[in-house]
Chain A
Amino acid sequence: MELELLQKFITPIHPLDKKEWEAFSAIWTPFACKRKTVLTASGETEKHLYFVTEGVQRAFFIGNERQEATIVFTYPLSFSGVADSFLTQTPTPYFFETLTASKFIRTTYKQVEELMNEYPGIQKLILKTTAFALKGVLARQAELQCFSAEEKFTTLLKRSPHLLQLIPHKYLASYVGIDPTTFSKLMGSVRL
């Protein structure tokens, strides 16, 4: 079931042939946890690549002066975990936690690496997935620097309107980098 979802998810990114899919689908283990479980702590190196089938998660950074920045949300169907730490196998400065009870399938860096060495198609899948993630990160970088609070808010909700129902608003505010009170004001005033 989860594997079908995974296949459905990766095919538009880069389709795998039969042999590649057989190898790729064999490395995943089901994993479930409660809400507010910290799966990766700052200072750790991300061991797992997750594929989300249920629930919402976030990666966040704790700055000085009591500020906390939500860097990314993940929800079904998508890959999850601390991507940069996973790919580079270096310690992360971020925390990764579940916001709601979550279900995944997950695999380890070692297994993905072995398959990338053996199957060029799998390497290409990982490369393309990373490339799309990078595309998203750069777009968000530009938004964060150039947009006003209101523009950030409307962009987020146009792109992912379902997030409003899924994610507590304080985390959405922290994601777009605006004050939670500004966020609720915008909720009341902005027409989408």
Chain B
Amino acid sequence: MKIRSIELIEQLQADVRQLILMAGYLQTEDTRLLTLQPATGKWSVAQVLEHLNSYNRFYLPAIEKSMVQSTIPAAQWFRAGWLGNYFTRIMRPGTDGKIGNKMRAPKNHRPVLTVDIKSVMQEFTEQQRRLLSLLEQAKEKNIGKIRTPISISRFIKLKTGDTFRFLIAHQQRHFVQVSNTLKQVKDREPRNEYRTRNKEHGTDESVLSSFIRVASLIEHREV
């Protein structure tokens, strides 16, 4: 399967903007809730975001480096690699917005419980903006020819278009987790506190339901 490069990049940009929007909703939440673990050993929202940050700290400079070095002109079509397709497929949530397979994060991407939520959120949003601008730069580059190494081995390189797909799918996956985590910690709170607050402020919908809505919009895309 192949897809127009520009179409792929614009879809990915829309996905990243959606993540920025969800992060925006998260910032309106009580920060205390974001640092609570839903169960012992299960990550808090803050930990999930820090986990994503740790990947972006590796991938964003890696993508940038591989793109800057290349002068190959952009191609009209992008054809995904089998490895890129595989990585993206196992990461991405299902069409129902649910996660089928569970995975365990590598040791160096397991965040501690005591992460500082404010700085974690700020870093997350900054990284998403950087990701958007890298995607913008990618419009002028050949994302099918340029290759970026993966984090676990610098000898394995993916087509940069696939690196973007896999990285963003990984973030979407964890935002499903964020939405579930938030629901669990809220359910555990004294019964009516959060309900009343919602009503008082007259929001058009609770943050949680917009999350679920957004998660269900995450699409299954084969390239």
Contact = CB atoms under 8 A, between A and B. Distances in A.
Contact of B28 (A40, A67, A173): A67
Interface string B208-223: 0000011001000000
Interface residues of B, number: 27
Interface in B188-217: 197-198, 201-207, 213-214, 217
Nearest to A95: B21
B86 to A, nearest CB: 26
Given A33-B14, A39-B17, A43-B129, A179 B24 contact: no
Given A41-B132, A42-B24, A66-B203, 18 more contacts: A36-B213, A36-B214, A37-B14, A38-B18, A38-B20, A39-B14, A40-B17, A41-B20, A44-B17, A62-B28, A66-B198, A66-B206, A68-B204, A97-B21, A173-B202, A178-B202, A180-B202, A180-B204
Nearest to A64: B28
Contact of B204 (A33, A36, A39, A174): A174
19 contacts: A33-B14, A38-B14, A39-B17, A40-B17, A42-B21, A43-B20, A43-B129, A44-B17, A44-B129, A62-B28, A66-B29, A66-B201, A66-B203, A66-B207, A67-B203, A68-B203, A95-B17, A170-B205, A173-B204
Contacts of A95: 17, 21, 24
Question: In this complex, which of A36, A40, A66, A174 has the most chain B Cβ atoms within 10 angstroms of its Cβ?
Answer: A66
A23 to B, nearest CB: 25
B204 A66 contact: no
Nearest to A44: B132
B125 interface: yes
Contact of A38 (B17, B25, B28): B17
Interface in A157-177: 170-171, 173-174
